Amino acid sequence: MKKNFALRKLTYDAVKSRWGLGAQAAQHVIKKTCDAYATLRANVKAGNYGGPGSKRCRRVSEKPVVFRSEGAQPYDDRMLSWRIRERTVSIWTVEGRVKSLAFTADPEQLARLALYRQGESDLLCRDGMWFLIATCEVPEAALTTEPVDFLGVDLGIVNIAATSDGEIMAGRELNRARVRDRDLRRKLQKKNTPSARRRLKKRRRKEARRAKDVNHKIAKRLVVEAGGTSHAL
Which ranges of the chain have pLDDT less than 50?
Answer: none
Please tell me the predicted confidence (pLDDT) of residue 2.
Answer: 67
Per-residue pLDDT reduced to its tens digit, 88-129: 999 999 888 999 999 998 899 999 999 999 989 999 988 888
Break the chain down into helix, strand, coil percent, rounded to 5: 45, 25, 30
**Which residues neighbour 146 within 8 Å (Cβ) at sequence distance 6 or greater?**
none
Residue 38, number of CB atoms within 10 A of its CB: 11
Please tell me the predicted confidence (pLDDT) of residue 212.
Answer: 87
Instruction: Decide if 135 contacts 121 (C-beta within 8 A).
Output: yes
Q: Record the pTM.
A: 0.70
**Which residues neighbour 137 within 8 Å (Cβ) at sequence distance 6 or greater?**
116, 118, 119
Please tell me the predicted confidence (pLDDT) of residue 219.
Answer: 87
Please tell me the predicted confidence (pLDDT) of residue 71.
Answer: 86
How remote is the C-alpha of 81 from its chain's centroid? 21
